[in-house]
Structure 1
Amino acid sequence: MLRRLLALLAMLGASFVVVVAVAPSAIADCDVDEETGEVVCEDEDDGNDGGTHTGGSSTCKYDGKEIPCTGPEGSVWSSKYGCWIGERGPDDLVPPEGQTKEDGWWHVCYFPPPGSSWEYMWILTGEVGIDPVVLAQRAIASMNLDPIEIGIVPESAANRAGLVGLPVWMWVDQPTDVTFGPISASASEGTVSVSATANVSSIVWDMGDGTKVNCTGKGTPYADHYGKQASPTCGHRYAKMSDDQPDGAYQVTATSHWVVEWTGGGQSGTIEFDLTTEPLPIRIGEAQVLTQ
């Protein structure tokens, strides 16, 4: 690594525009697999609970891998520039052609492994600070989103059971903004502010018998007057009894797929994630036919 950086320095010569140097402590939280080049980073606990659905607001993404959002010397990760933006460069540096000191300034950019190097990069005014993606994650965490409440017929109870072949109805029971959306929140730091709006786009019902039913919308709550009709929006039929299942019941879960649209800090994007309910036992039997 050192030999490659020295060779690069030799090629760059005395240019002040790009200054590369070895920074032994720059990537203290990251290790690199020398054979695969895989980046493995250990995030510091900053005491901020970012929520399990987004993986925490202190973790950013680089080349499909998680890295700490805070880098060496208090620098902050920027997905736009692909580095941790750190301290301002010396005042005697010269702006690039067509730029002025009012437009921006040179800042140290620390690069993730396998480069583990830094250079001065021209950063536009107002773009020094937290990555808007991090603020979007904080906004999502503040929503305190939950899995849906399962509505289902047959009901889940020790003395209740459905029948093989009869319609099963599934729906979102008593939907709220935190279980189905839409819900909006914002987060700010310094001059950067991000707004985010979250909605459930679909729900995948794992029926416990090897079948998964993908439903859009909240589904239709069952009512007695529907009788033996099939659900018009989200339903299933079991082909066999549940007596051979653990506790004699199919374990049903519902996974809601959240889509969050965010904008701010001169950027916009989409964050998607899933929330899954605890398993709900549903018993299925067969109708007994009496003959004489």
Structure 2
Amino acid sequence: MLRRVVALIVALAGSVVIVFATASIASADCVADPVTGEVHCEEGEGGNNGGGNGNTGGSSTCKYDGKEIPCTGPGGSVWSSKYACWIGERGPDAMVPPDGQTKEDGWWHVCYFPPPGSSWEYMWIEAGEVGIDPVVLAERAIASMDLDPIEIGIVPESGANRAGLVGLPVWMWVDSPTEDTFGPITRSASEGSVSVSATASVSNIVWNMGDGTKVTCTGKGTPYADHYGKQPSPTCGHRYAKMSSDQPDGAYQVTATSHWVVEWTGGGQSGTIEFDLTTDPLPIRIGEAQVLTQ
């Protein structure tokens, strides 16, 4: 099958029309040399999609030759494992199908090839092979999960009549975890013949303790119980070195940022999307023990 069409000569009404392979390039991951047409790609950083109280943007990568590449290429083109290129815009109507093919069987599309030796060319793409980007379906599946930040479990507790003491252990944990606050949770999304399944889980939680300290904990943490007394948490804890009286409202503002990792597969592709969700600040008051003398 003919794969490379640099210049297609079509005889129309006794005249010769030369259709050159041209394409628009618009992508943060891939750029084309305006003279040579070579496409140079770098793995993207991922965008911000917003949502909840955190950043639900992320990056998504596909596999090629054992390496990770962006699933979306120049001009919004979509990576195809079958054709080993990003399938882009449709070729001009003046182009003709290869021998034995008709317009109902498919059409010429710009294919952008990954590095090394990045380039693009027109390739015959069979009907039904050009559709929605599976990454878009993965994002739809994530949206249907309706994920939320965790519920903070912490001792000392928050409240006007509650306070901890300098130097005593602070315990942090995920209170009443559910699939939509901690995972794992699986959802799918489909359009046409393309279906994508995505599974999301929290990989770690970063606790901002409000005193300039951040504590990264894996797992849900250990809920505090009275019988633990003054023991430190075995899984996720902190100690404040000074009182919170000089803080706004006299309290440290504690937040928990859960880092979500979503593994998705479908449409002949697979990838990973990562994002964060952060709780609203929770005020925690810390004082000092007073020694009474007579």
Structure 1 length as normaliser, TM-score?
0.71
Tell me if 1:164 matches 2:173: no
How many angstroms does 1:279 deviate by?
Answer: 0.8
SS at match of 1:82: strand
In structure 2, list runs of 5 or more residues that go unmatched: 11-17, 32-39, 41-48, 62-68, 113-119
How many angstroms does 1:253 deviate by?
Answer: 0.5
What is the identity, as a one-letter code, of the residue corresponding to 1:184?
A: T
Task: Verify the 8 A CA contact 2:148 2:180 in the aligned structure 1.
Answer: yes
Specify the alignment match of 2:108 in structure 1.
Answer: 107
Give percent identity, aligned residues only: 70
What is the identity, as a one-letter code, of the residue corresponding to 1:239?
A: A
Specify the alignment match of 1:203 in structure 2.
Answer: 205
Does the C-alpha gap of structure 1 residues 260 and 126 become closer, same or farther in structure 2, counting only changes over 3 Å?
same
Tell me if 1:224 matches 2:226: yes
How many angstroms does 1:85 deviate by?
Answer: 4.0
Task: Verify the 8 A CA contact 2:77 2:89 in the aligned structure 1.
Answer: yes
- 77-86 vs 221-230, which moves further: 77-86
How many angstroms does 1:136 deviate by?
Answer: 0.6
How many angstroms does 1:101 deviate by?
Answer: 7.2
Task: Verify the 8 A CA contact 1:200 1:259 in the aligned structure 2.
Answer: yes
Does the C-alpha gap of structure 1 residues 177 and 82 become closer, same or farther in structure 2, counting only changes over 3 Å?
same
Does the C-alpha gap of structure 1 residues 207 and 187 become closer, same or farther in structure 2, counting only changes over 3 Å?
same
How many angstroms does 1:133 deviate by?
Answer: 1.0
Specify the alignment match of 1:251 in structure 2.
Answer: 253
Cα distance in structure 2, aligned partners of 1:218 and 1:28:
42
Task: Verify the 8 A CA contact 2:60 2:272 in the aligned structure 1.
Answer: no
Cα distance in structure 2, aligned partners of 1:123 and 1:54:
34
The equivalences for 1:170-209 within 5 A come to: 170-209=172-211
SS at match of 2:280: coil
Specify the alignment match of 1:43 in structure 2.
Answer: none
What is the identity, as a one-letter code, of the residue corresponding to 2:135?
A: V
Task: Verify the 8 A CA contact 1:54 1:141 in the aligned structure 2.
Answer: no
Cα distance in structure 1, aligned partners of 2:149 and 2:262:
15
In structure 1, list runs of 5 or more residues that go unmatched: 1-10, 38-48, 112-117
How many angstroms does 1:169 deviate by?
Answer: 0.4
How many angstroms does 1:177 deviate by?
Answer: 0.7
Deviations 1:217-263, CA, capped at 9 Å, x for gaps: 11111111111111111100001111111111111110001111111
What is the identity, as a one-letter code, of the residue corresponding to 2:88?
A: W
Specify the alignment match of 2:35 in structure 1.
Answer: none
Specify the alignment match of 1:79 in structure 2.
Answer: 79
What is the identity, as a one-letter code, of the residue corresponding to 1:79?
A: W
Does the C-alpha gap of structure 1 residues 246 and 21 become closer, same or farther in structure 2, counting only changes over 3 Å?
same
Relative contact order higher in (CA < 8 Å, ≥ 6 apart): 2
Task: Verify the 8 A CA contact 2:165 2:287 in the aligned structure 1.
Answer: yes
Task: Verify the 8 A CA contact 2:167 2:239 in the aligned structure 1.
Answer: yes
Task: Verify the 8 A CA contact 1:143 1:183 in the aligned structure 2.
Answer: yes
- Aligned CA RMSD, in angstroms, stands at 4.1
Deviations 1:104-141, CA, capped at 9 Å, x for gaps: 74333398xxxxxx963333554310111111111001
How many angstroms does 1:151 deviate by?
Answer: 0.5
Task: Verify the 8 A CA contact 1:19 1:120 in the aligned structure 2.
Answer: no
Task: Verify the 8 A CA contact 1:89 1:106 in the aligned structure 2.
Answer: no
Specify the alignment match of 1:267 in structure 2.
Answer: 269
Cα distance in structure 2, aligned partners of 1:273 and 1:222:
28
How many angstroms does 1:92 deviate by?
Answer: 3.1
Deviations 1:165-215, CA, capped at 9 Å, x for gaps: 000000001111100011110000110000011111110101011111111
SS at match of 2:77: strand
